[in-house]
Amino acid sequence: MAKWFVVVDAQVDFVTGALPNPAAQAALPKIKEAAEKALADGAKLIFTLDTHYEDYLQTGEGKHLPVKHCIEGTEGWKIVDELQDLATNAIMLPKEHFGSNLWTEYIAEGDEVTMCGFVSSICVISNALTIKQIEGVEVNILKDCCAGLTNEDHEAAMTVMKCCQCNII
């Protein structure tokens, strides 16, 4: 059984960039502390990267959220400075959609995954529920280390993940 610590989309555009979020800014010290503790306890670290291209506004997502963000190679696509030291030695998992379809390349039956990041009601929940489909995987969500676009969206995401047998911590 492996332990994983997953930081979802802790990128400039979700904190201070194209989609600035004071709740995300406030969560960064908590994420850093939790990730450092997880690493000290032997967990492996994965950072996901929301990744879009110049044609973003023509994509399905872009039509629903018409704010260009996380364009590959831009400043907004980068991991925030506060977590750069952790990201240096982490597995980096770019994803073009809300959730990655590559989780089974890393996570196996019986593993334990602790997750945090942004946006709780979109990418955190999408990845948590995708990982939860791997038989026997425990998924823990660090509620105070996540942020939604609104507090209502954040709370709704926590409720849905709890209903889907994720542990909300």
What is the 3 state secondary structure string of 102-168? CHHHCCCCCCEEEEEEECHHHHHHHHHHHHHCCCCCEEEEEEEEEECCCHHHHHHHHHHHHHCCCEE
Strand partners, 45: 5
Residue 97, pLDDT above cutoff 90:
no
What confidence score (pLDDT) does residue 130 get? 97
Q: Which two tokens stand for residue 20?
A: 């600035």
- Of the CATH numbers 3.20.20.70, 3.40.50.970, 3.40.50.850, 3.90.1150.10, which one belongs to the domain with range 3-168? 3.40.50.850
Which tens digits make up the pLDDT trace of 103-117?
A: 999 999 999 999 999
Domain boundaries, the chain: 3-168
Confidence (pTM): 0.97
Kindly report, residue by residue over 23-78, the tens digit of the pLDDT: 999 999 999 999 999 999 999 999 999 999 999 999 999 999 999 999 999 999 99
